């Protein structure tokens, strides 16, 4: 059996991680998070690929390409698009790939506009507030979900 393939998507401004706002987002930069996820993926027996974009359309194109490539699951931190993007929601629903929504910060302890997600009710689950560990928890949980459901 081939290893399940999981796509990690990072939304806008996450390329700035590690440089500012460590009180919300921790001090790891995106390259370190992706490296941590690659190590975890080999432990879990899955393949991961990461992609970051500041552009809504580029993230949507990547989601469409994931379907063509037979990706089995998506871990996505949609960043600010969480709170604004019906287009991202439609893309994720359109490809029918199970996904987990991830946030570094606990968005429910922050401004009210961060409490609304256009994706959460369509996700397998949501993990928020554990910094970089949120991604690791999501990858573990999604791997188990795919193994169980697939």
Q: By CB under 6 A, name the binding residues for ligand CA2.
A: 13-14, 16-17, 19-21, 25, 77, 79-80, 82, 103-105, 107, 114
At its nearest, how many Å lie between ligand CA2 and the CB of residue 3?
Answer: 27
Taking the least distance from each CB to ligand CA2, the nearer of 31 and 69 is: 31
What is the sign of the dihedral through the CA atoms of 76, 127, 89 and 57?
Answer: negative
Taking the least distance from each CB to ligand CA2, the nearer of 77 and 85 is: 77
Q: What is d(CA 150, CA 143) in angstroms, rounded to the nearest whole number?
A: 10
Helix/strand number for the chain, H first, E second:
5, 5
Catalytic residue selected from 5, 55, 103, 108? 103
Q: What is d(CA 146, CA 70) in angstroms, rounded to the nearest whole number?
A: 13
At its nearest, how many Å lie between ligand CA2 and the CB of residue 82?
Answer: 6
| Residue 25 annotated to the active site | yes
Q: Can you tell me which residue has the tokens 């199970």?
A: 98
At its nearest, how many Å lie between ligand CA2 and the CB of residue 24?
Answer: 6
Among 43, 60, 41, CA closest to 51 = 60
Catalytic residue selected from 10, 25, 118, 135? 25
Q: Can you tell me whether residue 78 is helix, strand or coil?
A: coil
Query: Where in the sequence numbering do the catalytic residues fall?
Result: 25, 103
């Amino acid at each position: 059996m081939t290893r399940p393939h999981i796509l990690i998507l990072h939304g806008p401004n996450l390329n700035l991680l590690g440089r500012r706002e460590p009180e919300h987002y921790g001090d790891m930069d995106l390259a370190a998070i992706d490296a941590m996820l690659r190590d975890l993926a080999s432990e879990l027996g899955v393949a991961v690929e990461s992609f970051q974009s500041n552009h809504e359309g580029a993230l949507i194109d990547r989601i469409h390409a994931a379907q063509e490539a037979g990706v089995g699951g998506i871990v996505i931190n949609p960043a600010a698009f969480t709170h604004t993007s019906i287009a991202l929601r439609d893309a994720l629903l359109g490809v029918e790939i199970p996904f987990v929504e991830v946030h570094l910060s606990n968005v429910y302890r922050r401004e009210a506009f961060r409490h609304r997600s256009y994706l959460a009710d369509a996700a397998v689950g949501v993990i928020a507030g554990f910094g970089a560990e949120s991604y690791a928890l999501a990858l573990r949980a999604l791997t188990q979900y795919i193994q169980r459901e697939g």
